Amino acid sequence: MSESYLKRGVSASKEDVHNAIKNLSFGLYDKMFCKVYPDFLAGSEDWVSLMSSDGSGTKSILAYMYWRETGDVSVWAGIAQDALVMNLDDMLCVGARGPFLYSSVINRNKNRIPGEVIKAIIEGTQQYIETLHEHGVNIVLTGGETADLGDLVRTITVDGSMVSRMQKKDLIYTHHIQPGHVIVGLASYGKSTYESAYNSGIGSNGLTSARHDLLSKKYAENFPESFEKALDESVVYIGKNKLTDAFERELDLGRALLSPTRSFAPALLQIFDQYFDSIGSIVHNTGGGHTKVHHFAPAVKIIKDNLLPIPAIFSKIQASSNIPWKEMFQMYNMGTRMEIYCDESAAKGMIEIAQSFGIEGQIIGRVEANDKLEIVVTGEAYGTSVYNY
């Protein structure tokens, strides 16, 4: 990874974390997007319990600065959605259909984060759950924890945990990727039928890099609480932009960076109903971007040579930071955040379901036989990147 990325104290691959937990129990299966355990809740041998924990990451810092700069408290509802979706869509990758129980965890510095922000986050969570419910996604908000941790948290963190259970026979296994599969990619950008505004596609990963590479030094001066003081000044807010700069469609740059992470649940639940037997695996391109699949796939060659168009927000980040395209694909979803590895005969129908929700989709690649795991990302605009594992 680039030196500036590492100097900021972040890692797209998190290999040290994976090494630290390699001896822990992963439940029944070690290559899944959420923990899968025996059915502790009801004790059925035919069912399993699911558990996921995730959050909005450093995106909450962007929300804090945008709110302080503009007075627009509504951005916090998007942060609530980010935390929920990062759990929900990981669970979808194993075939979960709900109902889902969700609990939020908010840690704040009370001197900087007043009650109106907490209220906006909690109400935003409930409102998004109601929106998904209208599209057949059953989530129950079970409450959560809000803690005042001023000695630990400079602004706020917004995280959550989700629990569900499902029949073991309906599990989708990530290691079932095999030669002959095509890859259906679903777009993270645009405006789906259940979104109220255009979505830049940014998701909830790589926001530390995006924030510092795009925004100007004035944010270090105006919001010193928004970054770690021990960081080298050469990597702190080194861009030329303001959050309120006009960007694309109806979005300013801040709103583009804060576009809430899209859930693919409404589309995927219909895909499960109609094409479940044709699905080999589902991969959520979050931390690790287009190389995320390497944690799960067997020895195959994964070729992505027909990706969806790269959204403007990622082109902006790349141009501002000069990060090599190879690293960009390791850090960001680049406009394709969900991948379905499936039989080619089912691909057209899956794409049509996604498009019925206003979500772009297409066959973005294929899987070939190989003696090692290799990922190839190639396109005219960004060249060819090869990742060997």
pLDDT at 77: 98
pLDDT at 13: 55
Q: Residues 187-190: contacts with CB within 8 Å, 24+ apart? A: 187/308, 187/335, 187/336, 187/337, 187/359, 187/360, 187/361, 188/261, 188/262, 188/311, 188/333, 188/335, 188/336, 188/337, 188/338, 189/311, 189/335, 189/360, 190/358, 190/359, 190/360
Give DSSP secondary structure letters for 65-114. HHHHHH--TTHHHHHHHHHHHHHHHHHHTTT----EEEEEEEEE-TTTS-
Tens-level pLDDT at each residue, the chain (389 residues): 556 556 666 655 556 655 666 666 667 888 899 999 999 888 899 999 999 999 999 999 999 999 999 999 999 999 999 999 999 999 999 999 999 999 999 999 999 999 999 999 999 999 999 999 999 999 999 999 999 999 999 999 999 999 999 999 999 998 999 999 999 999 999 999 999 999 999 999 999 999 999 999 999 999 999 999 988 898 999 999 999 999 999 999 999 999 999 999 999 999 999 999 999 999 999 999 999 999 999 999 999 999 999 999 999 999 999 999 999 999 999 999 999 999 999 999 999 999 999 999 999 999 999 999 999 999 999 999 999 99
Cα 328 from Cα 225, distance rounded (Å): 27
pLDDT at 22: 62
Cα 111 from Cα 113, distance rounded (Å): 6
pLDDT at 23: 60
> What residue ranges define each of the domains in the chain, with the CATH number in brackets?
3-201+258-388 (3.30.1330.10)
Look up the pTM and report it: 0.93
DSSP bridge pairs for 62: none
pLDDT at 11: 58
